[in-house]
Amino acid sequence: MRTTFPEYVVALATIVGSVLFSIFGGVGIACLPLGLIFSFIRRPKAVITRSQYIKEATELGKKARELKKAADTLHQEERSGSKGRKWRKNVKSVEKELLQLEEDVKLLEEMYPQGEKAETSWALTVLGYLAKLVLGILGFIVSVAWVAHIVIYLLINPPLHPFLNEVFIKLDDLWGLLGTAAFAFFCFYLLLAVIAGAMMLGLRLVFITIHPMKWGATLMNSFLFNVGLILLCSISVIQFCSTAFGYYAQATAAQEIFGHTLESLRGIKYLYKYNVFQIAFVVLAGLTFVYYAAFGWRRRKPSGKFQLSS
């Protein structure tokens, strides 16, 4: 049987999106809840004194002057036309140090709130970290449910149990839209995991360049890049969910396209037959969990004087 052209285009886009989804989704499914939980663990415990604030602010000021001097040097090299590998490496180092400096300034402002509403600001900071803890615990439960469902329903043949499929069906029996709402929530959580994974890898890994998104300081090209990334991965999220919830979504259009046609195309079908993307997803989720368990709770040590590599 010949497939239609739109279905073949969707299949090719799904392959590309599935590679990104396996990487970003696998990392994000673990770092999204654990990042919130460890953010609560690393939170400022109390307001610092004025003398401590002046000392920390002085150190940050020195670091800012060093970065400005380094940026001016790189700008002069750019104008002179010497933009080699060393120059690009130094630019990345300055950008990374600048992001860390902004985080340190934000943390210092949280530890020493100023102004007439300083007490209110500190109370909101404490409540914000408590909200992160609650959301992190709920997210961790959802992440564990996702990984357990993938192992029980997808990686083991025949499946041990329908698991979340049966949960959705029972919720539908209670109220018509309850199961559909739960299904949508789990799908949207995967998309949030992709975003969290992309942001983490963009800041942590050197060999992958992802435009970082920062509240109030994101360039338009970074917005466009991340929107394109999410749109590309959204097709794979639909495919992944239609496969993972095949028992619940049977006899639907999504199941017909992603569950039957896509998994029967010549050459492509083996990627789905042997669960390549699902295995990569679970492995990366496990590695990220180990990374956070080993290093996520630690506070970042302040770096010394910043210098450009020669």
* pLDDT, tens digit only, all 310 positions of the chain: 677 777 777 777 778 888 888 988 999 999 999 999 998 988 888 888 889 999 999 999 999 999 999 889 888 888 887 777 888 888 888 888 888 888 888 888 888 888 778 888 889 989 999 999 999 999 999 999 999 999 999 888 888 888 898 998 899 888 878 988 998 999 999 999 988 887 777 544 444 455 666 666 677 777 787 788 888 888 888 888 888 888 887 767 666 666 666 667 777 777 777 888 889 999 999 999 998 888 776 666 555 555 666 5
Residues 263 and 273: beta-carbon distance below 8 Å:
yes
pLDDT score at 15: 83
Tokens of 240: 């992944």
What's the rounded Cα separation, in Å, for the pair 234 and 238? 6
Tokens of 80: 């002179």
- As a whole number of Å, the end-to-end CA separation of the chain is 61
Name the CA dihedral angle for 85, 90, 95, 96, rounded to a multiple of 10 degrees: 100
The residue type at 310: S
pLDDT score at 210: 57
Residue with tokens 């449910």: 145
Measure Cα distances from 7 to 11, 91, 229 in Å: 6, 43, 21
pLDDT score at 216: 64
Tokens of 183: 């299904």
Residues 9 and 257: beta-carbon distance below 8 Å:
no
Residues 28 and 287: beta-carbon distance below 8 Å:
no
Tokens of 237: 């999220």
Q: What does DSSP assign to residue 250? A: T
CA angle at residue 205 from 199 to 211, to 5 degrees?
40
- Crossing angle, helix 50-80 and helix 85-111, to 10 degrees? 160
Quote the pTM value.
0.79
What's the rounded Cα separation, in Å, for the pair 36 and 134? 9
Tokens of 277: 């993307």
What's the rounded Cα separation, in Å, for the pair 29 and 276? 17
Measure Cα distances from 110 to 40, 104, 122, 133 in Å: 13, 10, 7, 17
